[in-house]
Structure 1
């Protein structure tokens, strides 16, 4: 669903103009204030105890606010990795929402522990029979997660560059971009966070440094039909020159990253 944020100054001006015209102001469309404080319950979830050591760098409340996650949303965590974002979303969407946590076959083949980490991320959100409730695991080819229903939002964090790795089948980025577009409801959003490569690095930066060339990613996603709605400096770290591998001790955990919210047109 399309979401908008009320801006007090604009509302005050609208009221003033309405008063001058001696008419009632029009009813406001759906407006929601998104702030980190809104997601405190998700951040303090006991299932996230081990995640909290990463919170200073990964800014969970700010990420959820930027993604504009609402209770009742149906959200996909695309390339869930160790489950950091999955656990955040589990509480943020509330009892009426759903989270589909997708771990690609290609990742599990490369590192079998990813399957165990997916199981661990789902376990706190199961019923007494061990059946998933609210958070549902998905596996499959990276370009075919098999989302069971249309999604309000997809989040992919720190893994978008993996689409360009040499061991991925040819055409993977294009197929994934189209799949993500098709997975969303009209007006739905895609949130992408990734390590920035130096401008002009091209797709090679994904293999050499595990970083993403901003323009390559933007061209891919806008070519699939998305519109870039907002770019945040949430993870901006100018001291990183973007030329070292993300696993280099000099930048590990403190890379310069982009954060985008892209919209599928209504």
Structure 2
């Protein structure tokens, strides 16, 4: 009986420590408040909810994280200081040998950003494109792979197979038990008409289907980044809304009042080794 009591006590302590580690967001809040973040990026926190989003995906200062297609570095400004001391951050950007002028220009700007401040010195730049066998990080090395508003781009470029290839690359990079975090503009299921792809929105059911085909298990979904004001039927697609505001001054106040897009937030897991 004494041994059983000790086991229960020990189990309770482990559980309480696990709970504390998963509810404490102090480090995330400090990273979001980093003085190296741009004011323009901070202004989007109300729509992108970085503390809640990273917490939902289980990112901690000790995590090895891969961000797919980091663009101009919105999340880099948060992840780099967060992971600088105890974690590791891979930024899987455009391939260096890309023939796209857009890709070349954006990769150059991203590298210049990394060189501009000491806080980015530990960022490891890797490559990603929606093709088979892309190594975004060493195999079985990452705790978390993150992708923000990218699925529609891959689907437009390479269709269903390209998007599936992307998910397979993430699966290969993750440790058994690792997490794939997906945030994407959400297309209502009743709006899957023939031209839905041009809208920049993506069906949640298709995102789940392709991730599962790659071997992932959907563990949880969240409305952290939901926006019920977004009807997803704008004249210029998702780019009608801020921050792009593709319609310029036409109905600008209307779209500013809606805010940024309604987004799915999906947490997948690579099954742990048996």
TM-score tier, shorter chain, comes to 0.7 to 0.9
Name the residue aligned to 2:43: 53
Shift of 1:68: 1.3
Q: Is this contact kept in 2: 1:229–1:263, CA < 8 A?
A: yes
Out of 161, 167, 171, the position equivalent to 2:152 is 161
Out of 88, 91, 99, the position equivalent to 1:98 is 88
Out of 172, 186, 201, the position equivalent to 1:196 is 186
Shift of 1:38: 3.6
SS in 1 for 2:147: strand
Q: Return closer, same or farther for 1:133/1:228 CA change in 2, 3 Å cut-off.
A: same
Shift of 1:219: 0.3
Unaligned runs of 5+ in 1: 1-17
Distance 2:261 2:107 in 1: 27
Q: State yes or no: 1:44 paired with 2:33.
A: yes
Q: Is this contact kept in 2: 1:202–1:216, CA < 8 A?
A: no
Name the residue aligned to 2:61: 71
Name the residue aligned to 1:7: none
Name the residue aligned to 2:239: 247
* Matched residue count: 243
Measured against aligned partners, the alpha-carbon deviations of 1:150-182 in whole angstroms (never above 9, x if no partner) come to: 2110110011221110x3377211211111111
Q: Return closer, same or farther for 1:212/1:204 CA change in 2, 3 Å cut-off.
A: farther
Give the structure-2-normalised TM-score: 0.78
Unaligned runs of 5+ in 2: 242-254
Q: Return closer, same or farther for 1:202/1:222 CA change in 2, 3 Å cut-off.
A: farther
Q: Is this contact kept in 2: 1:197–1:205, CA < 8 A?
A: no
Distance 1:103 1:48 in 2: 20
RMSD (Å), alpha carbons: 2.9
Q: Is this contact kept in 2: 1:205–1:213, CA < 8 A?
A: no
Q: What pairs with 1:1-266 in structure 2 (closer than 5 Å)?
A: 23-24=5-6, 25=8, 26-27=10-11, 28=14, 31=18, 32-50=21-39, 51-105=41-95, 109-124=101-116, 126=118, 133-143=121-131, 144-148=134-138, 150-165=141-156, 167-168=157-158, 171-202=161-192, 207-244=197-234, 245-249=237-241, 250=255, 253-266=259-272
Distance 2:195 2:147 in 1: 18
Shift of 1:39: 1.3
